[in-house]
Amino acid sequence: MIIFNNGKYKSILAAEPGELNTIRQTVKSDKDFYPTYHLAPPIGLLNDPNGLVFDGEKYHLFYQWFPFDALHGMKHWKHFITNDFQVFQHADDLIPCEPFESHGCYSGGALKVDDKLAMFYTGNTRRLTDNQRIPYQNLAIFDCNGMLISKRPLIAKAPNGYTEHVRDPKPYLTSEGKIRFICGAQRQNLTGTALLFEMDNLDDTPRLLGELDIPKFNNHQVFMWECPDLMKLGNKDIFIWSPQGKARETHQFQNNYHATYAIGQLNQHTFDAEYIAELDQGFDFYAPQTFSGLENKENTILLGWIGLPDLTYPTNQFKWHSALTMPREIQLKNNQLLQRPIKKIYENMTTLSSLTLKGKMEVEHLDRAYLKFDAQNRPFTLDFFSNKAKEKLSLSYENGLICLDRHQSTQTELMIKFGSQRYCKVHELYTIEIFFDRSIVEIFLNNGEKTMTSRFFIADRENVIVTNRSLNIEIGFPKHIQYV
């Protein structure tokens, strides 16, 4: 075991006495933004969800984590086990401590094999002689109680024809019982793709099968695919991934990077897509992962990172950054993916109360409330929150276009750089559900047909709503997360 301690490539095992406590105090000094019912890092930076697997009784989940600061440093996998996504039990983290993960345990997925949990992940390393990045693909074995048993490297470099950007293995079982995993990759000509590998069993050495080809996907300007995830829902195959480089558009693909999904049929290595769309149209959503593989399911659970690569947030000063989405049930309807919070979130909520909104109204605890109303496909403008600096978050609808506007709230320069409005087109607009959690908003339109997930920062806020027309809303409060 090596205790890495090289600038930002520092493992938690190298923490000085009292160092983590000091960071904890800084996080605690944030009185405005830390969420109550979303998973957020105790200290430091969180990014992608990793290693999602159901062991038959409990859910195991991890996230990318750098404990020391709100920046992308040495990545660990922070580990939790839960039955209900409300009480989370700590389990063994994946801590970089071997030469094949010297610069971090990067993203990956999990598979249950017999009574063990196999975590496939990328070992980020840098060559000593010239600091060249070398990606390993590694395997860590955990037991179902969350104890780490072993780790080993599977592949020690990028295959020929690809750059050092090969990462994020997501495993699944084939109908013949083989273990396959799919990695995001960049070709030597700097275009994005995904690579399929196969193993007979967990002791085997992976063989490269080839690229996953999606002829219908416009790969123009796309330089890298991150976090691929292949699964089956009903009689369709689904591919979810995070392609980087796609040009931004006015009413979709508005962020610097986007999470995308394709629905269709997987034939050998070719994905014949019938429908391709962006997964979420808010300001902050990336690198989602599901609990599924190619075993046939009617629905599955997805978690996403409420954040984006290369973004800073106002909570950087408090040494924490980002959160995960609520667990979302995804299912297919009319060849489109529907996303809704899992039923447990609704079951655990306080009883809903009704309110007729008019003009300006105070709503107690609005900043951690769930709101639901029927827009009846008619225009509206809603302004949420207020403070001395007249900050607010606005949501409006007119003629099939929803707009979430955070220009009158606190933003970092990088947030401003990518624009302060996000739009979402709908055919018609009926049910709107809004989940506020202090600096997070998750919006579900038309029962999950479209979603908009975002951060917003309004300090010292008053819990008020201003509406331009009378609206009957229902209000409830999701249950806080508990860590044990």
**Residue among 289 and 408 whose Cβ is closer to ligand FRU:** 289
Q: Which amino acid is at 183?
A: C
∠ Cα 387 389 394 (to 5°): 65
Residues in the chain: 484
Q: Does residue 48 carry a catalytic annotation? A: yes
List 48, 69, 367, 405, catalytic entry = 48
Cα separation, 324 vs 48, in Å, equals 8
Do the Cβ atoms of 287 and 49 come closer than 8 Å?
yes
Structure tokens at 464: 């008020």
Contact call for residue 439 and ligand FRU (CB under 6 A):
no
For ligand FRU, the binding residues in 86-115 under the rule CB under 6 A are 106-107
Residue closer to ligand FRU by CB (options 69, 449) is: 69
Q: Which of residues 128-167 bind ligand FRU (CB under 6 A)?
A: 167
Closest distance to ligand FRU from the beta carbon of 308 (Å): 8
Residues 49-88: x where in contact with ligand FRU by CB under 6 A, - otherwise, as a string: ---------------x----------x-------------
Assigned token pair, 260: 């995308």
Q: Smallest gap, in angstroms, from Cβ of residue 327 to ligand FRU?
A: 19
Q: Find the shortest distance in angstroms from Cβ 47 to ligand FRU.
A: 5
x/- binding map, residues 301-320, to ligand FRU, per CB under 6 A?
--------x-----------
Tell the smallest beta-carbon distance from residue 344 to ligand FRU (Å).
27
Contact 107, 224 (CB under 8 A): no
Q: Is 168 in the site for ligand FRU (CB under 6 A)?
A: yes
Query: Does residue number 471 form part of the binding site for ligand FRU (CB under 6 A)?
Result: no
Q: Cβ(245)–Cβ(258) under 8 Å?
A: no
Cα distances (Å, whole numbers) of residue 361 to 108, 312, 386, 409: 46, 32, 11, 19
The amino acid that residue 355 corresponds to is L
279 binds ligand FRU (CB under 6 A): no
Host H or E run for residue 346: helix 343-347
Residue among 104 and 206 whose Cβ is closer to ligand FRU: 104
| In the complex, minimum distance from the CB of residue 111 to ligand FRU, in angstroms, rounded to a whole number | 18
Alpha carbon 202 to chain centroid, angstroms: 27
Specify the residue for token string 């997070």.
440
Applying CB under 6 A, which of residues 287, 349, 382, 432 lies at the interface with ligand FRU?
A: 287
**Among all residues, which ones are annotated catalytic?**
48
